[in-house]
Each structure stands twice: as C-alpha cells, then as structure tokens.
Amino acid sequence: MTTVPQTSPSRHRPARIAVNAGLVIFIALYAAIAFLQPNYLEPGLFMNFLRRAAPLVILACGQLYVILTGGFDLSMGAVATLVVLAASILINGDPDATWAVIGALYTMGIAVGLVNGLVITFLKVPSIITTLGTMLLVNGLALAWSGGAARGDLPDNFRNLGRLVWRDVPLIGTLPLAALVLAAFVALAWFGLSGTVYGKRALAVGDNPRAAELAGTPVAATRILAFVVSAVSAVTAGILLGGFSGVSVNAGEGLELQAIAACVIGGAQLLGGRGSIWSAVFGALSLFALFTLLNLLGLPQALRDSIQGLILIAAVGATVWRTRRRT
Amino acid sequence: MTVVPALSMTGISKAFPGVRALDGVDFECLPGEVHAICGENGAGKSTLMKILGGSYRPDAGAIHLAGKAMQFTHPRQAAEAGIAIIHQELSLLPHRTVADNIFMGHEIARRGLLDKAAMRERAAELLRRIGARIDPQALVSSLSIAFQQLVEIAKALLLDTRILVMDEPTAALDERDSRTLLNLVDSLRGDGVSIVYISHRMPEVTAIADRITILKDGRKIWTRPRDAAPISEIVRAMVGRDLKDFYPAAPASMPREVLLSIKGGTNGALRDVTFDVRAGEIIGVAGLEDSGKGALAQALVGDAPFTSGTVALRGQPIALRTPRQATAAGIGYLPGDRKREGLALRQSVRDNALLTLRSMVGLLTRPQRGALADGVIDERLRAMDVRAADFGQEIGTLSGGNQQKAIIVRWLAQASDILVFVEPTRGIDIAAKAAIYETMRVFADSGRCIVVVSSDMPELIGIADRVLVMHQGRISGDVPRGASEEEIMHLALGLADAPSEETGA
C-alpha cells in the first residue's frame, strides 16, 4: 500500500548449512589423538574423554551466556574451587548431608551470580572488573575458610557424580554418570537459548544494549540472568571436579579463562552478539582434546598455558579476519 | 571547455558479490565547482566516493587528478593527493581538543616535541578562514554536531585539499546551521576548491550545485548544469518515475479522542510542556538544535523521563520512567540515530523486527510461537516492502531506508498505538521516504497517532496535521497544517507568540 509498488522483495535462498568451526577443529584434533592412540576410538575411552571434559564443557556453556550479552565472567573458576572446598567441609564424610549441601552450594552460586549481575547492571562497573573482584573475593573466602589446605572429606555418593561409571551398558559399553550430567546441562542450556525468547534477547543486548533498551528489552534482567546461569554452571562443574579429582585448594584455577577460550574457539564473539550453544560445547571439546593431545605427545604441562594463549589469540584473530573480509 | 578538470573519473566499475555497484560511471569536477551527486540509497554514490578516497579499488576505470593518472591503494594516498572526504558519521576524537583533532596525524613538532602553541595558532587561523567561532582549545565533545562538522572541514583544509567530498553534510543539522554550512561551501568554491556534494535535500542541491549528476542502480543517468535540472527532473531521474504524491493526502477524518495528554512536562531539557495527542493525528515537532525537540521525544518514550508534570494515557495517569514502561503502554520509538539506538546491526532483519515482541512476551515463550514465527514476521516485512535477499541476513547490510522500515515493522508488530519518530527519513532515499510517509498516514488514519520530530521543515509541513514548534525547552507555538516555513522558523527562533514569562530568559 505504498505509493511506490515494488516487485517481490525477497526470494528464498536454500538455507546455508552452518558448520560450527569448533566441531571441525574437534574432529581434527580427535582424529590426531586417535592416530597416536587408536584405542581412543573405542566407546569406553571416548566416554572417559567426555567424563573428563564435562566440567569444562559445562563451564563454557555458562560462560557463553555471559559472552553473548557482551560480558565476561572471571569468577567461575573461583566459584568451582569454593564448591569443592565447601562441599568437603560441610559434608565432612556424612553421606546423608550430600543432597542438602548440594542445594546450599547452588544457592551460594546463585547468590554470587546475582551479586555479579547487580553490580554490573546497576553500578555500571565493567563485567571484567566486577568478576575479577568476585574472583579474588571468593578465592580468598574459600582459602580462609579451609585454612589454606584441603579439609574434611567427600563421601562416595557425592564423588560418584563425577566418577561413577556404569559398565556393560548395551551399545556404548560404559556410561559415566558425569556424561549424563553433561548431556542434561547442555540440553538445558540449549533450551534456554534456543527454546525460549531469552537467547535472542541476549544476542540483541550483546550486540547493541542501547537499541535493545529502547526497543523495550529488559536489559538489566537479561544480563543478571546470564551471570546467574554462569555461576550455576560453575557450581555444577565444581561438583563434578570434586568427584573425580578430590578436594584441592586449586581445583578451579584457570578454568574461567579456559571457558572463555573455548567459547571463542567455537566461534562466539567476544563483546557479544554472536554465538550459539554449540560454540561453547565444541569449543570446549576442542580445547580439551588439545590438552589430551599435548599430554600424549609428552609435552610438559606448563606448555598447556602457552598453547592455550596462542590459540585464543589465533581464534580471535581469525574471527576478526573473517568479519573484515566479509565487509 | 578547455579547463582541465581537477578530478575526472572515467568508466569506473565495481562489483561486489552479487551486486554490480558501479557500471562504467564517468564523473568530473572542475576547479572551483560544486558538483552534486544525487541518487537513491544503493545507487552507487558511496561506492564511487570510496573509490575516490582510496578505500576501494575499482574493477575498471581511471582516475585523473588535474590531468594526472592516479591509482590509490590506500586512503592515505588519496589524502596526500589532496582529496578529503567528510563522512556522514564524523570521525573526530571526542575527548581531544579541536586543535588536536585538526592536527591528528600531522602534528607540528619542534625538536621532537609537539609544538602546541603553533598548532593552536594555525588551528585558530583555519577556523577563522571558514568563519567558525570555535575555540581551538575546546573539547570536541563539548561542540554541537554543526560545529564538529566545521572542525572536520578545517581539518580537511589543513592538508591543502583540492577536492572536498561532503557526504550528506547537512543531514544532522537544523535549518540555521545548514545555511551557514552552505555559505561556507560557497566560499570554498571561491577559493578554487572542487566540491563533490552528496545530499538528499533537493532545495539545498539546487541552491548550491553548479552541476548535478544523477546515479541510479550503479549507472550514471545524466550530468546537467543546475539551470537545466529542476527538482522534478532530478526526482524523476533518481526514481525513474514522477513522485507527484510525495506526501500523502490530508487525513480522512478529523482528529478524534485524546490518546495521550501531557501537562506541565518538565525535566532538565524541557520546561512546562503541555499538549494533547489525538487519535488519527500526525503531530510534527519542529525546532532548532537544542530546542528540546529531541528531549521531548526521549521523555515521551521514557528514555529521559519528565521529572515533573503529568502524563495521561486515554485519561488514565501513567508513569513513563523507562522505555520498557512506555513500550508496555503502547508507545513505540523510532530513534534518530538508527545505527546507535535503533538496530542490533549484527542480528538479522527478522531478529531486529521481532526485538520488541520478543522483549515483551514472557521469558519462557517459545521463539516460534504465534506472532513470533518466521512466517508471520516475514509477511509483515514484505507488506512494508523491506527489500532484502533473505530476511535472515544481517540488517547492517541493508540500505538505510530498508533498515528504517524494519524498525517500523517492529512497532507495528507490537501493535503500538502511539509512535514517536525522530528524523524518520534522515539519509534515506526518496522512494523509501514516500513509503514511510504513506505508512505514517495509514497508521494515523486507523485511529492511532504519530509524533514526528524532524529537522526537515518541508517534511513536517508535508506530513504533519499540526506542528508544535519548540524553543529553549518550551513549546513556543502550535501551527496548523498548511503553515509556511517562515512561520515555523519565526517561532523556532523565539521571535513571536512566546509566552510572556519567557522574555528575558
């Protein structure tokens, strides 16, 4: 009904098949692992790989929520450490206390997420600073509480979440409980982003918060929720870590950076506006496959950090290069 | 003509994946000539200027400057050859001084140290030459857009620019500042500078240009001296048809019941604003820069709320404290700065059109439910004639007109009753303008209303049923449909009909 009638404005293109960059990298790295150590192709070892990668994948999913909205969450490693230490102190070997304590741990995680989100949205402190602050705060609290050394004891029903493996499962042979937790968490995280309107709101907020606000988007709530999801993922990862590595004061050290690196490798854009749950999942699997590969090659652990740094720079560089070439 | 053109571009062609942006375009500009380029968005003007400025390399064609063949592979080479381009979006550093900005990258040094005094002096001299009363020590962020533009020009003159390209220089300026700028263009022409002038404002083009070139779909339609190019001819060449009914007819019926009523609305930028908005009405808001017309729009949408006064929606008092509250109350906003405030540029056309709907439904709503489904929003986008190869593509790749239409679709989908439009047609092409005006009329005629804030006076006169004129934060007058530009300008300058208590303010 315009004064300027026009011909049909849009024709349908066949949908592009979007192959996640992280998936390609993961397959390549896993192929390299299998080349060196062919038994990694057996279902049992693959399941074990998934079990060990589970905490990182879960952390990356939580971190992705924050990255989509244009922020960083540096506090997740500290939260995971706190979870491990707090669980062992609070449960102290009493299997009956396990579930109540797990409830308390999630409450605590949600509180940390809320504090992060509220400070960032209402005091307008950049997320990188705020979460750096909470990271130091939470780490300090955890160390002070535990007296700087692992105390207490984790009962088997708690540790099983991380290390229980069912044997003689049809088709796949073995099934670690952690892999089920992983699948359930990824499914929930996927639902949050793709099964509700939240994901699109988060992308818009990360892309242009001002425009989103003027369009009626609840920008503050969207951001706060992202930090809560991130903290919840850190608690979940912490519980799994406590399960298979036991109690240690540096259980979660450096995990926040690995989670960020994972998201970026998978194609999520730092500073927001682009990425999907598969960026986090395959990015994290790639990073973990890389660590495994470096182990198999006999490289010293310390080099892991350097290589992780290189990858982060290369991945960000590649994203920027791709964006520039398109314009 | 025996004069060697200062600039001559011949047979310029440039293709992008899927688009032939320029196809054998010839263009020349004589020393001391103002040569205007007109064309719809997407006609190839920007591409041509990016080739001239060294940002793009042409697929074919040649560029000669004063008869000498040139090949630019980097914008710096073009700048060194005496070409300066002033873009629509200014490129000044807001937190540095005027002098710092003018000398950016060309600082005067003495014994390895910056010679601030010399730069200040030289900057002051340049600013004087263009008749701008600006302190070289002032921070750029403290200057109005109009003054910032003058700083850009001073910056161009520093480099002994022979060819100055101005891309929509008056788009962000009000009437008075535009006139100042045009006077400046005229004096630069007197100094022998060749000026390539890109604008959508026809009266301006015919007032200032010596010659006019029309581009359409990447081809040159014609180049004519100004006298041989009346506006009607230009418009016909640009769109390929007559646009007699550029503005839609007056409303079908008289304004009906009051939808929104503001009494004594006051905040930092507004004083005692009182008016009613009726169903079926398009209300224009005119005023010079900083008159409060932008602040009024921000107050209506809850972005910079009134701090005192009352707002009533259909007789019920309501608070408009945040854009979200305003949205829930049925008020939609088309911001003046599309890129910064209107769009999430890296999201798809569809996502941008759905942004408000998705923001107002419950958090756990499925993304494809009901009005949120792709098919439904695609239908709305098509009805609005938003042109994109695929509504899944990033909205940043569309032309300004199509982006603007997508934002309008956002509010139509939300079924808002009151739309606040700020500069709805800034920097967009004529066909899209006409389509937007038509949409506005249809919207108002359906018993809803539009408040349109604009610096484009002919636009307000053409589209609005009445125009509120603002001056120093107040409504200084209210003129009915059919008023003249002079009447409005009179009120905007605060010369007449001002409330008595304002004298001496």
CB spacing of A208 vs B328 below 8 angstroms: no
CA distance A65 to A199: 8
Spell out which residues of chain A touch residue B239, defining contact as CB-CB under 8 Å: 4
Size of interface A-B (CB pairs under 8 A): 134
Structure confidence by residue, pLDDT tens digits, B193-221: 999 998 877 788 888 999 999 998 888 99
Structure confidence by residue, pLDDT tens digits, B74-94: 888 898 899 998 877 677 888
pLDDT of A9 above 50:
no
Spell out which residues of chain B touch residue A8, defining contact as CB-CB under 8 Å: 382
Residue closest to B170 by CA, chosen among B211, B201, B203, B209? B201
| Closest CB to B344 among A1, A196, A212 | A212
DSSP-derived letter for residue A42 is S
Residue closest to B166 by CA, chosen among B147, B182, B187, B190? B182
Query: Tokens at residue B15, please?
Result: 């293709």
CB spacing of B359 vs A218 below 8 angstroms: yes
> Is residue A12 exposed (0-12), middle (13-18) or buried (19+ Cβ within 10 Å)?
exposed
CB spacing of B359 vs A201 below 8 angstroms: yes
Task: Tell me the sheet residues that pair with A173.
Answer: A169
In the block, which residue shows the tokens 């932008």? B294
In the block, which residue shows the tokens 């041989």? B228
CB spacing of A215 vs B356 below 8 angstroms: yes
Other CB atoms within 10 A of residue B287 CB: 31
The DSSP secondary structure of B248-312, one letter per residue, reads: PPSPSS---SEEEEEEEEEETTEEEEEEEEETT-EEEEEE-TTSSHHHHHHHHTTSS--SEEEEE
DSSP-derived letter for residue B97 is B
**Most confident residue range from A97-111, A156-170, B17-31:** A97-111
In the block, which residue shows the tokens 């606040």? B420
Spell out which residues of chain A touch residue B389, defining contact as CB-CB under 8 Å: 10-11, 13
How many Å separate Cα A247 from the centre of its chain?
A: 21
Task: Tell me the sheet residues that pair with B22.
Answer: B14
Q: What are the structural domains of chain B?
A: 7-239 (3.40.50.300), 245-330+417-505 (3.40.50.300), 345-414 (no CATH)
CA distance B179 to B49: 24
Nearest CA in chain A to B329: A216
- Cα–Cα distances in angstroms (integers) from residue A83 to residues A143, A235, B29, B206, in the given order: 12, 6, 72, 73
CB spacing of B355 vs A212 below 8 angstroms: yes
| Closest CB to A13 among B343, B359, B390 | B390
CB spacing of B303 vs A214 below 8 angstroms: yes
* Residue A208 backbone dihedrals phi, psi, to 5 degrees: -155, 90
Residue closest to B196 by CA, chosen among B168, B224, B236, B155? B168
Question: Which positions ≥6 away from B266 have C-beta within 8 Å?
Answer: B272, B273, B306, B307, B308, B309
Interface residue ranges in chain A relative to chain B, Cβ cutoff 8 Å:
1-4, 6, 8-13, 194-201, 203-204, 207-208, 210-218, 273-274
CB spacing of B346 vs A210 below 8 angstroms: no
Query: What is the distance in angstroms between the Cα of A26 and the nearest Cα belonging to chain B?
Result: 27
Split at pLDDT 50, 70, 90, the class of B397 is confident
Instruction: State the sign of the Cα–Cα–Cα–Cα dihedral A287, A290, A296, A302.
Output: negative
CB spacing of B359 vs A212 below 8 angstroms: yes
| Radius of gyration from C-alpha coordinates of chain A | 21
Spell out which residues of chain A touch residue B382, defining contact as CB-CB under 8 Å: 8-10
In the block, which residue shows the tokens 């048809």? B241
CB spacing of B324 vs A4 below 8 angstroms: no
Spell out which residues of chain A touch residue B366, defining contact as CB-CB under 8 Å: 195-197
Split at pLDDT 50, 70, 90, the class of A4 is very low
Split at pLDDT 50, 70, 90, the class of B503 is very low
Is residue B168 helix, strand or coil?
A: coil
pLDDT of B272 above 50:
yes
Task: Tell me the residue length of chain B.
Answer: 505
> Is residue A114 exposed (0-12), middle (13-18) or buried (19+ Cβ within 10 Å)?
middle
pLDDT on residue B484: 80
Query: What is the distance in angstroms between the Cα of B365 and the nearest Cα belonging to chain A?
Result: 5
β-pairing, B258-267 with B7-16?
unpaired
pLDDT of A86 above 60:
yes
| Closest CB to A9 among B241, B367, B382 | B382
CA distance A257 to B224: 62
Determine the number of helices (DSSP H) and then strands (DSSP E) in chain A: 13, 2
pLDDT on residue A19: 66
pLDDT on residue B403: 92
State the SS3 of B178-223: HHHHHHHHHHHHHCCCEEEEECCCHHHHHHHCCEEEEEECCEEEEE
Is residue B400 helix, strand or coil?
A: helix
Mean pLDDT of B425-429: 81
CB spacing of A211 vs B367 below 8 angstroms: no
Pair B169, B199: CB distance under 8 Å: yes
CA distance B498 to B305: 25
Is residue B420 helix, strand or coil?
A: strand
Calculate the dihedral angle through the C-alpha atoms of B444, B450, B453, B454, rounding to the nearest 10 degrees: -20
Spell out which residues of chain B touch residue A13, defining contact as CB-CB under 8 Å: 389-390
Residue closest to A58 by CA, chosen among A199, A232, A287? A232
State the SS3 of A44-56: HHHHHHHHHHHHH
CA distance B476 to B474: 6
| Closest CB to B438 among A3, A201, A211 | A3
Stronger pLDDT, B41 or A240, i.e. the higher one:
A240
Beta strands, E only, B45-89? 60-65, 68-70, 83-86
HSE of B290, CA atoms in CB hemisphere, 13 A: 7
Residue closest to B178 by CA, chosen among B199, B151, B192? B199
Structure confidence by residue, pLDDT tens digits, A107-164: 999 999 999 999 999 999 999 999 999 999 999 999 999 887 877 788 888 888 888 8
Query: Tokens at residue B294, please?
Result: 């932008």
**In B115-138, which positions are buried (b, 16+ CB within 10 angstroms) versus exposed (e)?**
ebeebbebbbebbeebebebebee
Query: What is the distance in angstroms between the Cα of A315 and the nearest Cα belonging to chain B?
Result: 19
pLDDT on residue A319: 67
Instruction: State the sign of the Cα–Cα–Cα–Cα dihedral B34, B37, B38, B40.
Output: negative
β-pairing, B449-453 with B282-287?
parallel
CA distance B149 to A185: 54
* Residue B114 backbone dihedrals phi, psi, to 5 degrees: -65, 135
Q: Where are the domains of chain A?
A: 53-253
pLDDT on residue B223: 93
pLDDT on residue B46: 83
pLDDT on residue A129: 95
CB spacing of A197 vs B361 below 8 angstroms: yes
pLDDT of A7 above 60:
no
pLDDT on residue A1: 36
| Closest CB to B355 among A210, A215, A274 | A215
Nearest CA in chain A to B434: A3
- Cα–Cα distances in angstroms (integers) from residue B300 to residues A79, B270, B303, B317, in the given order: 44, 12, 8, 14
- Cα–Cα distances in angstroms (integers) from residue A106 to residues A111, A143, A161, B356, B435, in the given order: 8, 19, 15, 33, 54
CB spacing of B248 vs A211 below 8 angstroms: no
Structure confidence by residue, pLDDT tens digits, B222-249: 999 999 888 878 877 876 655 455 777 7
Query: What is the distance in angstroms between the Cα of B392 and the nearest Cα belonging to chain A?
Result: 9
Q: What is the ipTM of this complex?
A: 0.86
- Cα–Cα distances in angstroms (integers) from residue B310 to residues B276, B295, B299, B421, in the given order: 12, 16, 12, 22
CB spacing of B248 vs A3 below 8 angstroms: yes
In the block, which residue shows the tokens 């009909």? B497
Pair B327, B414: CB distance under 8 Å: yes
pLDDT on residue A138: 95
pLDDT on residue A194: 93
pLDDT of A313 above 90:
no
